[in-house]
Amino acid sequence: QQQVKQSPQSLIVQKGGISIINCAYENTAFDYFPWYQQFPGKGPALLIAIRPDVSEKKEGRFTISFNKSAKQFSLHIMDSQPGDSATYFCAASTGANNLFFGTGTRLTVIP
């Protein structure tokens, strides 16, 4: 059973556009929601994370929006650049649980 459902599977965005990736979860005990960025041949790297006591967190061009009642969270990449082309994974966990990953979104930013 997939603990975290992620969409879309792939995304193509023009340079300068906004990339939006969505995730949904069922386990209301989850209290930590990170996003990871993975380039080919590399391991996932933490991009940004949020806890459910806030509805939004922004770091540079990356923003997480969190909707606790809907059990959904999303990643917004503003002013998308070709260097942002990578696979993005949402994830969720509690302190005592393992990190559960979504299935990934392959983002391509075209110049």
Partner 1 sequence: GAGVSQSPRYKVAKRGQDVALRCDPISGHVSLFWYQQALGQGPEFLTYFQNEAQLDKSGLPSDRFFAERPEGSVSTLKIQRTQQEDSAVYLCASTSVGLRGGYGYTFGSGTRLTVV
Which residues, other chains included, contact 38 with Cβ-Cβ below 8 Å and sequence gap of 6+?
A: 44, 45, 86, 87, 88, 89, 104
Using the contact rule CB under 8 A, the part of the chain among 13-21, 60-68, 77-85, 102-110 near partner 1 is 102-110
Is there binding between residue 102 and partner 1 (CB under 8 A)?
yes
- Which of 20, 99 has the CB closer to partner 1? 99
Contacts with partner 1 in 38-67 (CB under 8 A)? 41-46
Side chain identity at residue 22, one-letter code: N
Is there binding between residue 91 and partner 1 (CB under 8 A)?
yes
Using the contact rule CB under 8 A, the part of the chain among 11-19, 53-61, 65-73, 92-100 near partner 1 is 92-100
- The alpha carbon dihedral of 76, 11, 15, 46 has a sign of positive
Is there binding between residue 12 and partner 1 (CB under 8 A)?
no
Structure tokens at 6: 């992620």
Side chain identity at residue 103, one-letter code: T
